[in-house]
Structure 1
């Protein structure tokens, strides 16, 4: 569960921008928040969902992309090349100072066993320049590890990370481009207090669902997940979600026998072996004679519309997460969806959430602002004149009550974060 995170000097984000899932004391829409009792005896209220709104090119996607890149750097460090820059390094370029400064990231979160952690990471294109991990056995934080400028005496490419006082100041050697946290994802380096942090990052789901190829990969991921016997109990929930969206699909059928067929083709006379996937998911449709149902037809899911396939992909991941816990990030959740379908997904997540899961997404769908969200769930991005992205909450404005018409206020420009269209050199905006 995410409490808050901040990003500095990444793409359009220059100065530190912070985002939080901590709920305010507002009494409205209690189904949109949940309470968590931490292991250290404290309590926190968190929002289940949050939407980031803003004009095109305002930096919404960069907030989610930053988390994606940091996650990849931590959990998939094997892709790093010795002679290549750190791929996540992508600083703000429109400032003479920031274009050579480190990217900085900080996150405060709860692990599955409800321990509170704070993780910081800063890096340039050549090396990690700062990394630290704290936990909160009480209200006050304690250091778990720290990694700074100390290097191996015989090889400056090797950095020294050191555990805190309660862990006997044990030292670890790590290559300069690899986060120290990464090595604790390996079985031989399992650590009771550190490995769950690696697992937290590993299990975050981050998907840019504007791209058809990404949606297909997510759909395949969900299909494979549902083939596992323990997960078949989730199929009725996905069916119900798809029925509510008026797709005319009556049921979902999964054929466990169709996991792939091997075929042999030739390229330039040389035989090559490939695996062709066969459809394992079918949608059951009614067959009518006049107005009477006379039969059922099972349609392979690849023959369903792209919107239906996307609904299955996102809905399937949502059902998995609300039952098993976790955090989902969707970039452009509303892409290819009717506004009412987008609303359905968000409400389904909030109303059916059994495990304190969280959903964070970017969107242009202002319909969601119409009585769906509390002010602490509404975030905006906008570009300043110098090209920098600002990230802020509806709560940051004076006079904001929970009963105001958020959609009308937003489209009327009271929160900013809307495009100002120019005609003939004159700026125009919605009244």
Structure 2
């Protein structure tokens, strides 16, 4: 579960900004939060803002942190850290470290993890655990100094410290070398945090292939039943979803392609999703016809990818981070998917959804508490700020947020300076 995420000097996020998933003192919408370790945590948070305001950049900060934790143990000596993306519109910030802080709960333990890194090395890294309100250090690492270990740390110390390169995280290296004490913290990033930038192209296709395999090889599973029920429930015209094995002869390979690559490709594309629609004759139902999923609408195809990750999140208790959740979907379908996280009878494993959207209609559905709604906007220097709706003066429980937002009263809307364009268009 996510409690808090803080970012500084990453992409357009020059100054420190923080997303807090802790419920405020506001009343109402009791299904929109749940209790965990004497805390009340929000099940969802939604981020609004103009194009290029910094919404995607903030969500990519989650991805950058996940990438470092899961991959830095394999970084080679002296290589640059690929996700070092400082704010470039301020000469003083261009060479400053990127900083991330995250508070999370993994296997009933509350952790706080801080990292700071420059182009080729980790400047600072610290992991602590909490027992109630008491904070206990596990390890703290600062550039140029020996790693400091807390009294609760158990496992190899100096050996792993010597093995950890300047561009690697100690957390990643320690887990690679079987320090069991840090496994639960690592598993939050490897097993509970799920980050999906805009679902399109290869990423969307990979997800559909993954779910095709699950439908084919485990058709009777809870996931398969729920996936079928979801797709058929959302007015897609589909009555059934299944997966069939593809014919390998449909793929043609150049003669010089190695057999192991052919085998990997054929395994990846072993199954195809089939959708079934009712067939009528003179107004009477006479049967069903199977379609390839590629023949479905863009929205339905997107739903196959998004529906799968939402069902998995609800089943496994994931923290799901998605950009442009509403892509190609009707607002009512988007709202239905969001509300699944607000139903304690469905979200039994305390899954959370953090997403960015341009779908203003979601603000008119009475779906969110004001402390679940966030806005991003850029200042005159190109730096993004993140602020909470509940912190805006004058916003009340009965405020029509959609109308206020579209009127510019909440900020985070585009300023269109069209004078020069209109003049140019009229010149001829």
Q: Same fold (TM over 0.5)?
A: yes
| Aligned with 1:407 (options 393, 402, 426) | 402
Residues 30-86 of structure 1: CA deviation (Å, up to 9, x unaligned)? 1211111x2xxxx01111111100000100000011110111111022553434311
Map of 1:382 onto structure 2: 377
* 1:211 Cα offset (Å): 2.6
Given the alignment of the two structures, is residue 347 of structure 1 paired with residue 335 of structure 2, yes or no?
A: no
Work out which of the residue numbers 173, 181, 186 in structure 2 matches 1:183. 173
User: Is the partner of 1:56 in helix, strand or coil?
Assistant: coil
* Length, aligned pairs only: 408
- Aligned with 2:70 (options 75, 84, 89): 75
Residue of structure 2 in register with 1:156 after alignment: none
More strand by share: 1
SS of aligned partner of 1:390: strand
1:85 paired residue number: 80
**1:100 aligned partner:** 95
SS at match of 2:397: coil
Report if aligned partners of 1:215, 1:313 keep a CA contact under 8 Å in 2: yes
SS in 2 for 1:401: coil
Asked whether the equivalents of residues 279 and 302 of structure 1 are also in contact (C-alpha less than 8 Å), the reply is no
Partners of 1:266 and 1:424 in 2: CA distance: 55
Q: Residue 57 of structure 2 corresponds to which residue in structure 1?
A: 62
User: Residue 379 of structure 1: SS of its match in structure 2?
Assistant: strand
Q: Quote the RMSD (CA, aligned, Å).
A: 2.4
* Aligned partner (choices 149, 159, 174) of residue 163 of structure 1: 149
Q: CA deviation at 1:343?
A: 1.5
User: Quick check: 2:78–2:120 contact (8 Å CA) kept in 1?
Assistant: no
- Matched with 1:118 is 112
Q: What is the CA-CA distance between 1:259 and the residue it aligns to?
A: 9.8
Report the CA distance shift for 1:368/1:79 in structure 2 as closer, same or farther (over 3 A).
Answer: farther
> Secondary structure of 1:185's match?
helix
Segment of structure 1 superposing worse, 43-52 or 215-224: 215-224
Q: SS in structure 1 opposite 2:291?
A: strand
Aligned to 2:225: 236
Distance 2:220 2:45 in 1: 27
Distance in 1 (CA, whole Å) between partners of 2:197 and 2:247 is 26
What is the aligned partner in structure 2 of residue 25 from structure 1?
25
Counterpart-to-counterpart distance in 1, 2:147 and 2:283: 71
Matched, 1:14 2:14: yes
Distance 1:283 1:80 in 2: 43
Q: Contact conserved, 1:219 with 1:310, CA < 8 A, in 2?
A: no
- After TM superposition, what 4+ stretches of structure 1 lie above 6 angstroms from structure 2? 259-264
Name structure 1 gaps, 5 residues minimum. Answer: 152-159, 427-431
Residue 284 (structure 1) shift = 1.8
Q: Are the aligned partners of 1:14 and 1:389 in contact in 2 as well (CA < 8 Å)?
A: yes
Contact 1:259–1:280 (CA under 8 A) maintained in structure 2: no
User: What's 1:218 paired with?
Assistant: 207
Question: Gapped runs of 5+ residues in structure 2?
Answer: 422-428
Match of 2:354 among 355, 360, 363: 360
Cα pair distance change 1:101/1:230, threshold 3 Å: farther
Q: Which moved more, 1:321-330 or 1:221-230?
A: 221-230
